[in-house]
Structure 1
Amino acid sequence: MQKITFIIIFLVFQVGMGQVIVVLDGDNHRPIPNVIAYNTDKSKTSLSDLDGKCDLSKFGQGERIALMHIGYQTVRATKGALLKKGRLYLELTAEQLDEVVMSISKWEQQRKDIPQKIAVINAKTVDFTAPQTSADLLQNSGKVFVQKSQLGGGSPMIRGFATNRLLLTVDGVRMNNAIFRGGNIQNVISIDPYAIRSTEIIFGPGSVIYGSDAIGGVMNFYTKDAQFSKTDSINFFGKGNYRFSTANMENTVHVDFNLGKKNWAFLTNITYNDFDDLKMGSHGPTSYLRDHFVTIVEGEDRLVQNPSPKEQTPTGYNQINLMQKVAFKPNNNWNANLSTYYSETSDYARYDRLIRPSKDGTGLRSAEWYYGPQKWFMANLQFYKNGKSKFYDGLKITTAYQKFEESRNDRSFQDPIKYMTKEKVDAISANVDFENKRIGNLRLYYGGEYVFNKIGSKGTELNIETTEQLGSASRYPDDATWQTLAGYINSELKAKPNFTFLSGLRYSHVWIDAVFDQTYYSFPFKNADLSTGALTGSIGFSWFPKVDLQLTFNGSTGFRAPNIDDVGKIFDSEPGSVVVPNPELEPEYAYNLEIGVQKNFNDKLMLKGAAFYTYLVDALVRRDFQFNGSSEMEYNGELSNVQAIQNAAKAYVYGFEFGLDAFLTESVSVNANLTLTEGIEEEDDGTNSPGRHVAPTFGDFHLIWKNQKLKTDLFLNFNGEIDYDDMSMSEITKDYIYALNAEGNPYSPSWYTLNFRSQYQLSNTLKLSLNLENITDQRYRSYSSGIVAPGINLILGVGYLF
């Protein structure tokens, strides 16, 4: 009898357990509590618990059930179908007014309270757009213009600013270092898109929170967190991805896995990319074709005909990205995270330098021009404390060590001497940030930052015939240092339920110490000893005069202090020109105004617009210079015009940004973006010229259809023309990367691409994607880019959850 009773109890228990499903977030796999399940007439309801478990035992087997949670898409299915799945992944809704962002204060704030324009790219969007690199991730947003000099690159442009006037951060640590240059940079590709949880882009100055370099905007990359278990059992899950694309025969493999207990959690992330040479499209300027390239035949440089002119030889490279996170939570108030990141590329060619014509126009100038491996390592230790204290409600301490390594290698055609420079940067940083929510409707954010960079730079000449190596001038003064110390305070006042006021101040001080080696060049100075500071501020508001109408205003200032690249660099900037050091530099300073409007029409149509104006004084620009009283000097065996970075200009940039989100049905939506920017640099003598980093008019238009398993996106990308009269002087000298107009002058033609993306959820664990880019096979080169964009490109992907 006892045995029968036990069996009955066991069977009842099993049946009960078999009536439960687990509801999880589709992005991070976290349990979602308080998901309500109800039948058609709402006579039966059930609620998920803290572990996401939802009991469906009260519903009939064939009864249709809806599962709903604010912020997530509602799912409807029969009880039998839900129990068969066991786990249900809910997806975020397309637009959330209460979306939380962290970029403005380093603490969580409601996006609707922020007066500055912010674009948010979440992990779900990254998964669907499937970018090759983080540069492509930014470009896919439709709000950021990206320039590429080579396949292994991507230099964002925001509101007329680029390179060292934009700031990159990873998990709260600034990635910009003392040798970030004014020319196009590719450090963003060191960030693995498969590791990203969210990307937040601030448009306009962000110097109050982030200090120097944040003039045009800030790009904050937040990587995935290690997840704790909410029960006594171990929480183990992971994901694997494979991606293949035809335009450069890409093979990408990714895997990540999480192991979590209640107090400890570990996350491992690995991605490997292999790219072959990139193939351009069929319809466009013939001058973009790669008709010839240089190869070595029997020890001698030969200019040979390219059998496949649409193939850009050489552009291929490979890359590995690793991330390891360890999280420890001793109690509900403290949290400690140790994160390590590593990225390394193979050698990769700088394609735009390999297509430069020789002086007589009969061949190519360079036989070799390539970057050595680009390496980045960061160890980041963060402590978080929550809970009431006398001076704060939240404390965040962030300490980090970074090591950057890069090198340049170039050799002229039929010249046995290869010139090589190698740079290393050791960077340490410490941030202390506080949040105070104790003063009524006023929230205060304040803190301090210290950053120290030390530069190692060496130069070598290699005779490829004899293999003899000799020392040569380094790119930067070896053992130079750059450091900054800063303090800030930022406030958010909820003056009324529909009116939020934000303001902030920051003071930053910067020191540079560099000693110039006189071995190879007789500099008219021995060292650069710079000590300078800057006060920046911001003020703005977010106002909802009506529930469906938002108006924003923001006024802010930004600055960029000279770095080692500005003060101490010597390199060839363009054919026939060489940049020399200039220790007499001051910070450049920006003043910015921005207004924005957002109108919601019955949750069916969302219109967004922003207008901005930025004025830059004491702008650091490259201009003609004299070295030891001469306007010319010999560099790498060539008589070259002398230039230097100088506080020689003012600049103003203004523009308009528009966005549209339309929800036509539950399955069909439309998304569009349009950006128009104009900018002028004004010299001290009163002459004007177009801004170098002012992107052409650009935008996109997306038609999206989706159901519970399939999502498709048919979209158009387009760029406007920049004619000859609107191009900066520095771009006009690079006529070999541009098309020629009827008068034989370089210009950047307009272009468009038609594209298609799709993703199909085959099961709870298996996801397939098929994308077709540049369907009409256009041959185009984005403004200022050295490499031609991909032609028609088939992309296949598979993702597996375990």
Structure 2
Amino acid sequence: MKYSIEMQNQKLASALIFLLFSFTFYAQQITVLDADSGIPVDNVALFNKDQSKTTITDSRGNTDLGIFGEDEKITFRHIGYETYTATKSQIGRRGHRVYLQTKAEELQEVVMSVSKWEQQKKRIPQKVETLGARDIYFTSPQTSADLLQNSGKVFVQKSQLGGGSPMIRGFATNRLLLSVDGVRMNNAIFRGGNLQNVISIDPFSIAKTEITFGPGSVIYGSDAIGGVMNFYTERPRFSYTDSLAFSGHATYRYATANNENTAHVDFNFGQRKWASYTSFTYNDFDDLKMGKHGPDSYLRNNYVVRQNGTDVLVENDDPRKQVTSGYDQFNFLQKFAYRPNTSWNYDLGLYYSETSDYSRYDRLIRPTGDGLGLRSAEWYYGPQKWFMGNFQVTQKGKNKFYDGVKLTTAYQFFEESRHDRGFGDVELYSTREKVDAISMNLDFENKKMGNLNLFYGAEYIFNKVHSEGSVKDIETDERELTASRYPDGATWQTFAGYINGEYQVKPNLTVLSGIRYSQVWVDAQFENTFYPFPFEEADIVTGALTGSLGVSWFPWSDFQVTLNGSTGFRAPNIDDIGKIFDSEPGSVVVPNPDLEPEYAYNGELGIKKNFDDVVVFKGAAYYTYLVDALVRRDFTFNGQREIEYNGELSNVQAIQNAAKAYVYGFEFGLEAYFDEHWSLLSNLTLTEGTEEDDSGTDTPARHAAPTFGDVHLIWQNQKLKADVFVNYNGEISNKGLSLSEQSKDYIYASDRNGNPYSPSWYTLNFRSQYQISNALKATMALENMTNQRYRTYSSGIVAPGTNLILGVGYVF
């Protein structure tokens, strides 16, 4: 009996020793992965400080760290990735996984936006710019609108602090398309006026942003005339061991110009077959303070307060402070991923964003006709809300008809509202809009036909608009219904099919071509309770055929030429056919059910030259011709050119197919790498645009941005990155302003003749990031160091003055 017990104890001890040895051995095993795709990376070299200890990852991204000490610094190096350094103990705390960031300018860089599947960037004839997670973290933008602006390649207009309307190649608002994780964000009430929907996308949750310049209608359908902005959020990361992997990140940011306080946290749980990613961000923005040196007309000298039941114009103690511009915002993202095997992936994403009320600042500074007071006592947007549920199923593997198939289904909910009250009035007018949007995309990838890769698929989208109007007596709290902004219950839907092909003619020559047909249905019933409409409904059925053809050619290995021709279209939406609103002082827009799609025809030539991996030059020239352009023009309503709207006699206007337009421009980029520490980056964009109405009169295009660019001088090593840079904008003279902009003299400076114009401006800035440890990172920036007072073109709010930004991030 005693012998038996001793034998059992020996067996148990042996088992424990074996398990301990196995665990110790297993704990030395790590996996190196691509940070964007999660794919294992082979041939990664690992070595210590004096390179006396080295190892390399295998085809599955695995290697053993047994030769390294627990606190010994290990360097990871690969030709296609940024160098990374960490200790073995730190890697162990992060689940024995290391994620490497790709180098942005590698020839093998992959983009998703052109076909919805991975393609090598060098084979794409369109201009595509990529902003990675490292770029976003370094620039530390307040919103996704600022993220786009910081790229130096997209111009952004702001009517208020809670805003940001991108302009690309002379087009903006509903002629640009927003996409989040492959789902179209544009809805049936995206308007031709400035939009702020991009701020609903949390920059802290973005893994990568791809900006496609020029028409993208073959893949994305209506609205993709000027370009497409694709935001790809962080994906859940799986564990490549049998244990649960946990990781997370926390960030805090503070900015002085608007007393910003931003807090963000995200965390990831992962096992071999499932993973979860969760992200929270809260922003609190106070009133924005403008710069010191610039036009006095930009100052906020007074504002309206209500005292003892009366509107009073009071003097602003600090005229540089843009009173009532502040707001706050909350963003949440939850993702789940399930991967039962190497062929199938199931992804569920839940997104939510909500702002507080925020002022339409440019309306609050509109003067009265005599210039002695302000027209509005209140003008603000109600909470802007956005929810999306996105479920995606992906299969990869050989099949008779495809090598990959992706089914993306999504439901989105949008809510926005507008509230305005004239100075001295007791009536607060409000409109509230809600949109339910359902979409389904089925996309296929086929690589079977020799050098021809095919991408094809179908799309269905359905939008339903809910709209109501009301007026409230602020003294009695009595509320009555009034005309809604849009016809309540209106619907917009489209069904489309497309095919896109990439054919590699030679190793140095690729042809990309595609075609798409879209059918669009618009239905709106007009209620005559408040206005005697001369029609009962708008029932539009229209179709559009679009295509593209382009080549990417490398006559030499270090020189690329791209040539691309494409068409784009935008079908009328509910905002075009059924809107009633005050577009500007003394004007009201009324419905017009007789609209047709507008079409764009685009040509683009691009070059890229690499000089011995030291200097890279990029250039592009483009020309876009727009016909049947949907623009706002004078109109009649029941034969009348003026009607009463919200108690004011107003000029009647409507959206009409009343113009042609052309836009052309040049885009340049320069990258110079002097040594492993010093580099110089620069961008320059020049745009010209003209609209022509039925009478043949030419006027400047409203969304043709001024000449803009930047120059960055960067120094970096493994711990510190510092960037001294200049942003600049050219002037737009009075004659260069569109007619609609010339009427907004209250947001522009005055030239020598007293006419409104947009002055040129520049800012000198500094930005830095320091890696305190592998877990702790600090950022510091000083923007607009010379304290310039300036407005970006067409913006209502004045840009920040000198702005100190401090941030800290911790990885756990």
* Class of the TM-score when normalised by the shorter of the 2 chains: over 0.9
SS of the residue 1:248 aligns to: coil
How far did 1:206 drift? 0.2
Tell me which residue corresponds to 1:37. 46
- Preserved contact between residue 166 and residue 213 of structure 1 (Cα < 8 Å): yes
Q: Aligned runs of 1:423-442 on 2, under 5 Å? A: 423-442=433-452
Tell me which residue corresponds to 1:276. 286
Tell me which residue corresponds to 1:48. 57
Tell me which residue corresponds to 1:97. 107
Deviates more, 1:30-39 or 1:746-755: 30-39
> Which residue of 189, 206, 216 maps to 2:216?
206
SS of the residue 1:726 aligns to: coil
Closer, same or farther: CA 80–359 of 1 in aligned 2, 3 Å: closer
Q: Aligned runs of 1:11-410 on 2, under 5 Å? A: 32-37=41-46, 45-49=54-58, 54-55=63-64, 67-74=76-83, 90-410=100-420
How far did 1:359 drift? 1.6
Name the aligned partner's letter for residue 757 of structure 1: R
Name the aligned partner's letter for residue 106 of structure 1: K
- Preserved contact between residue 87 and residue 764 of structure 1 (Cα < 8 Å): no
- In the alignment, the residues of structure 2 paired with residue 620 and residue 114 of structure 1 have an alpha-carbon distance, to the nearest angstrom, of 30
- The gaps in structure 2 that reach 5 residues or longer are 1-5
For residues 180-221 of structure 1, what are the alpha-carbon distances to aligned partners after superposition, in whole Å with 9 as ceiling and x for unaligned?
000000000000011111111010000000000000000011
- In the alignment, the residues of structure 2 paired with residue 337 and residue 75 of structure 1 have an alpha-carbon distance, to the nearest angstrom, of 29
How far did 1:92 drift? 3.3
- In the alignment, the residues of structure 1 paired with residue 526 and residue 206 of structure 2 have an alpha-carbon distance, to the nearest angstrom, of 41
- In the alignment, the residues of structure 2 paired with residue 624 and residue 82 of structure 1 have an alpha-carbon distance, to the nearest angstrom, of 66
> Which residue of 492, 499, 504 maps to 2:509?
499
SS of the residue 2:735 aligns to: helix
Closer, same or farther: CA 630–583 of 1 in aligned 2, 3 Å: same
Closer, same or farther: CA 558–247 of 1 in aligned 2, 3 Å: same
- In the alignment, the residues of structure 2 paired with residue 334 and residue 61 of structure 1 have an alpha-carbon distance, to the nearest angstrom, of 37
Residue 724 (structure 1) aligned with residue 712 (structure 2)? no
> Which residue of 748, 762, 786 maps to 1:776?
786
Closer, same or farther: CA 94–221 of 1 in aligned 2, 3 Å: closer
- Preserved contact between residue 51 and residue 230 of structure 1 (Cα < 8 Å): no
How far did 1:148 drift? 0.1
- In the alignment, the residues of structure 2 paired with residue 38 and residue 268 of structure 1 have an alpha-carbon distance, to the nearest angstrom, of 34
Residue 548 (structure 1) aligned with residue 558 (structure 2)? yes
- Preserved contact between residue 461 and residue 471 of structure 1 (Cα < 8 Å): yes
- In the alignment, the residues of structure 2 paired with residue 131 and residue 175 of structure 1 have an alpha-carbon distance, to the nearest angstrom, of 21
> Which residue of 459, 480, 492 maps to 1:482?
492
How far did 1:266 drift? 1.0
- In the alignment, the residues of structure 1 paired with residue 423 and residue 493 of structure 2 have an alpha-carbon distance, to the nearest angstrom, of 41
For residues 553-612 of structure 1, what are the alpha-carbon distances to aligned partners after superposition, in whole Å with 9 as ceiling and x for unaligned?
000000000000000001000000000001111000000000000000111110000000
- In the alignment, the residues of structure 1 paired with residue 286 and residue 62 of structure 2 have an alpha-carbon distance, to the nearest angstrom, of 47
> Which residue of 713, 720, 732 maps to 1:710?
720
SS of the residue 1:295 aligns to: strand
Closer, same or farther: CA 410–81 of 1 in aligned 2, 3 Å: closer
Q: Aligned runs of 1:559-570 on 2, under 5 Å? A: 559-570=569-580
Residue 642 (structure 1) aligned with residue 652 (structure 2)? yes
How far did 1:72 drift? 1.4
- In the alignment, the residues of structure 2 paired with residue 649 and residue 389 of structure 1 have an alpha-carbon distance, to the nearest angstrom, of 48
Following superposition, which runs of at least 4 residues in structure 1 exceed 2 angstroms of deviation? 1-34, 37-45, 48-68, 73-94
User: RMSD of aligned C-alpha atoms?
Assistant: 2.5
- Preserved contact between residue 86 and residue 774 of structure 2 (Cα < 8 Å): no
Tell me which residue corresponds to 1:665. 675
Tell me which residue corresponds to 2:3. none
> Which residue of 647, 671, 691 maps to 1:681?
691
- The gaps in structure 1 that reach 5 residues or longer are none
Closer, same or farther: CA 51–241 of 1 in aligned 2, 3 Å: farther
- Preserved contact between residue 468 and residue 483 of structure 2 (Cα < 8 Å): yes
Name the aligned partner's letter for residue 303 of structure 2: F
TM-score in terms of structure 1 length: 0.96
- Preserved contact between residue 761 and residue 768 of structure 1 (Cα < 8 Å): yes
SS of the residue 1:116 aligns to: coil
How far did 1:646 drift? 0.5
Name the aligned partner's letter for residue 73 of structure 1: E
- In the alignment, the residues of structure 1 paired with residue 492 and residue 502 of structure 2 have an alpha-carbon distance, to the nearest angstrom, of 33
How far did 1:81 drift? 12
SS of the residue 1:229 aligns to: coil
- Between the aligned residues of both structures, percent identity stands at 67
Name the aligned partner's letter for residue 521 of structure 2: W
SS of the residue 1:309 aligns to: coil
Deviates more, 1:718-727 or 1:14-23: 14-23
Tell me which residue corresponds to 1:606. 616
Closer, same or farther: CA 27–105 of 1 in aligned 2, 3 Å: closer
- Preserved contact between residue 401 and residue 426 of structure 1 (Cα < 8 Å): yes
Deviates more, 1:701-710 or 1:90-99: 90-99
How far did 1:429 drift? 0.6
SS of the residue 2:137 aligns to: helix
- Preserved contact between residue 31 and residue 240 of structure 2 (Cα < 8 Å): no
- Preserved contact between residue 20 and residue 83 of structure 1 (Cα < 8 Å): no
- Preserved contact between residue 27 and residue 124 of structure 1 (Cα < 8 Å): no
- In the alignment, the residues of structure 1 paired with residue 37 and residue 772 of structure 2 have an alpha-carbon distance, to the nearest angstrom, of 19
SS of the residue 1:208 aligns to: helix
Deviates more, 1:786-795 or 1:62-71: 62-71
- In the alignment, the residues of structure 2 paired with residue 30 and residue 754 of structure 1 have an alpha-carbon distance, to the nearest angstrom, of 40
Closer, same or farther: CA 247–629 of 1 in aligned 2, 3 Å: same
- Preserved contact between residue 466 and residue 488 of structure 2 (Cα < 8 Å): yes
- In the alignment, the residues of structure 2 paired with residue 485 and residue 6 of structure 1 have an alpha-carbon distance, to the nearest angstrom, of 64
